[in-house]
Structure 1
Amino acid sequence: MEIKKSAKVGQAIERLMKSEELNGSQLAMDLNVSRQHGSHMKTGRRNMPQDIAQESIRTYDNPEYITDIMFEFSSGYTPPVFRGKNLERHRLAIEQMTICEMEEAIRTMRAVCLVKPPQQLDKTERENVGNLIDEILDARTFIDNLLIQLQSEYKISIKKRIAACIPRWKARGWLG
């Protein structure tokens, strides 16, 4: 995966400023840029450089903003924030969709055999693996969107929870 050197993030900045109740001067000060530079990034006249994106992620513990920034800078490798008209953005609706997508991913995982070496798969088996990847991505994206909603509503920081989990993950040998 390649991380872009810069990206258009105007809508993300606009949403961040609204949710954090920031004005242009405060944003510029937080990111150590001129007010004009901040304004140009917000309006899309200027891309956000990678170093400013990193600083903004350190500065703002706003999961929706961080997810937007990660999605843009990763060229879509990380999941997006779901904002479509066919999804109720309430924790219970997102929770239910997450459960449904996780169950579908598990059903697909049980139906697809990954024992065979990849180079030995026929066309149908490769398509089944592709479908499994799609189902896992659906579940992963809903999980991330549920985490965003939980932090937003319950004010429990995902960053802090991950930091607290790292020693446990290391103790289990999951991290090196």
Structure 2
Amino acid sequence: MMRKMLLTVFCTVSFGIVQAQTVPTVTNDLTDVPTVTSNEVSFYDQIPLVKNVINYAKEHLSVRYRSGGTTTRGFDCSGFTRFCFNKFGISLPHSSAAQGNVGAAVDKESAQPGDLILFKGHSSGGNRIGHVGLITEVIGDRIKFIHSAWNGGVRYDYLSASYYQHRYMGIRRVVHLLAEK
């Protein structure tokens, strides 16, 4: 109960900080045409849990792929996401398909760092979740994620790559699960 209350207070304060950080620029001296720039920081980026999970995931870049792996000796995709979230008190199942049923579904346009991104397995023709990653960055419609891939271990990729575009299944938001404990 205390965690819920503290998270609610923190989120409320963070939202106020984000609103205060949006500062428009007055004019462009060369053309006297008003230009608007923003130092706006994503509300979601203000939640320390998200930054912590992503930073922890980044520490494991280049760890090799290992089928069924759940440790730094080697990860499979769901073992990696489970390992990263578990460090911060969020328990995920060890199966990409099962992780596709955890948390709340999110539209691609609403994706945020810290969300899980789900894909079909090796066959783009199937309709079952077979791979999962952790979104690390969203800039416009470009979604960058970190995952453990059979051909390279823990690494970054982009949803815009045709391989992942054809296999994309959805996005799940799971960080709110900590508040429910």
**TM-score of Structure 1 vs Structure 2, range by shorter chain:** under 0.3
Structure of higher CA gyration radius: 1
Normalising by structure 2, we get a TM-score of: 0.25
